[in-house]
Amino acid sequence: MKINGTPYRTIWPSANDAEVVIIDQTKLPHRFETVTIGTVEDAARAILTMQVRGAPLIGATAAFGLALALRADASDQALADAIALLARQRPTAINLRWALEEVRVTVAPLPIDARAATAWAKAKAIADDDVETCRRIGENGLALIRAIAEAKAPGEPINILTHCNAGWLACVDWGTATSPIYQAHDAGIAVHVWVDETRPRNQGAALTAFELKSHGVPHTLIVDNAGGHLMQHGKVDMCIVGTDRVAANGDVANKIGTYLKALAAHDTSVPFYVALPYSTIDWTLASGRDIPIEERGADEVLNMYGQHADGCVASVAITAPGTAAANPAFDVTPARLVTGLITERGVAPATRNGLLSLYPERRETAA
Ligand code: MRU
């Protein structure tokens, strides 16, 4: 997608393939800066500090990080150590482990001196595949938006609520939840997005609003608690969110607060869709109960980060000193609250059979 007219991906190999470059998402929307990642430690740090975040992008970054590790040492021990290092940076997004396993099974059978180049090519393929997968998620979600548009008065915008950032900045391009929105907008369908600010890291305010603005999609930022009210008053036609891990029964882990939006949507009969690539499904988990939920630092809750009128970007405390804070970063929305799962293979009910209808090759192995 474009920033100031220039097309970008969120991660790309440097010109000589020596390193990989990312957009530093901790600086957005106030500054656009890129960071060069040259070692596995750099990649691990970028994931931990959320210079890159969002399930598919975390996976792609981990794949490049593993390839960089193998350039330094491609032994079995180094492979295992690098996988362990990268995997422990963020616990909830399954794409991280998925991408590491994709690289591991590709390189482990190879002679040591062939591993690094093959891992690099695999990391590039994972990134390219994510772009195409998200594009197809968008096509499938577009059909849902079109159906709602046809039931409305001509030109009346479709109001879509989204939470966190499941946009192109969370992926390599297009996004998951936003791909249908971009494709609808590009097809001339009037869409308007309610953007949840998404405390405490404000991915909605800082990232989703930024990328929608960059692409010219009409949107309005709302505080996290406003969604239920808007739904009660008929101002939301559908919700589309992303996810960090989907269990085999269709339970969905996503950014904290997603569950409350799904409850409000259920109560007000607003369709609640979850958009995801195949790499976000954890076929080993029978339900969402066992999805590990990342606990983050209290400092993210106790402080707000933003830009002062003089242009200085800084953090300010919002509580009295000594206030206790808890910071669970994700929650699990039960499948019964999800209207449908939008994937690259089509839209399915959020049930085990629904998922298996799209991925029949998993029938024998799914939990
Ligand atoms: O903590 P983050 O910013 O990595 O969390 C991201 C989200 O929860 C996204 O909505 C989710 O990863 C889907 S990304 C397509």
What is the domain-level CATH number for residue 35? 1.20.120.420
- Mutate which of 255, 291, 295, 344 to test ligand 1's pocket (most atoms within 8 Å of Cβ)? 255
Residue 4: pLDDT band with limits 50, 70, 90 = confident
DSSP-assigned letter for residue 295: B
Q: What is the pTM of this model?
A: 0.98
Residue 279 within a domain: yes
Answer yes or no: is 18 within a domain.
yes
Residue-level pLDDT at 5 = 87
96-120 pLDDT, tens digit per residue, is: 999 999 999 999 999 999 999 999 9
Q: How confident is the model at residue 1 (pLDDT cuts 50, 70, 90)?
A: confident
Query: Could you give the CA distance from residue 140 to residue 127 in angstroms, rounded to a whole number?
Result: 20
Same domain flag for 154 and 170: yes
User: What is the rounded CA–CA span in Å between residue 292 and residue 275?
Assistant: 20
Residues of the chain with pLDDT > 90, as a percent, come to 98
The packing angle between helices 40-48 and 55-72, to 10°, is 160
**Residue 216 and residue 233 in contact, taking contact as beta carbons nearer than 8 Å:** no
Tokens 């390219």, residue located: 128
- Considering the domain architecture, whether residues 231 and 266 belong to the same structural domain is answered as yes
pLDDT band, very low/low/confident/very high, at 2 (cuts 50, 70, 90): confident
Say whether both 188 and 266 belong to one domain: yes
- The Cα–Cα gap between 209 and 152 comes to 25
* CATH number for 187: 3.40.50.10470
The tens digit of pLDDT for each residue in 63-90 reads 999 999 999 999 999 999 999 999 999 9
The distance of Cα 341 from the centroid of its chain, to the nearest Å, equals 15
Which residues have C-beta atoms less than 6 Å from ligand 1?
A: 53-56, 93, 164, 166, 170-171, 176, 203, 242-244, 254-255, 329
Question: Looking at residue 332, what is its pLDDT?
Answer: 98
User: Average pLDDT for residues 187-194, to the nearest whole number?
Assistant: 98
**Would 22 be classed as within a structural domain?**
yes
How many structural domains comprise the chain? 2
Domain assignment present for 367: no
Do 190 and 144 lie in a common domain? Answer: yes
CA angle 351, 357, 358 (to 5 degrees): 100
* Pair 189, 271 in one domain: yes
Query: In terms of residue numbers, what domain contains 165?
Result: 137-362
Last residue of a domain, one of 129, 149, 179: 129
Q: Which of 129, 164, 199 is a domain's end point?
A: 129
Same domain? 121 vs 152: no
**CA-to-CA distance for 159 and 145, rounded, in angstroms?**
10
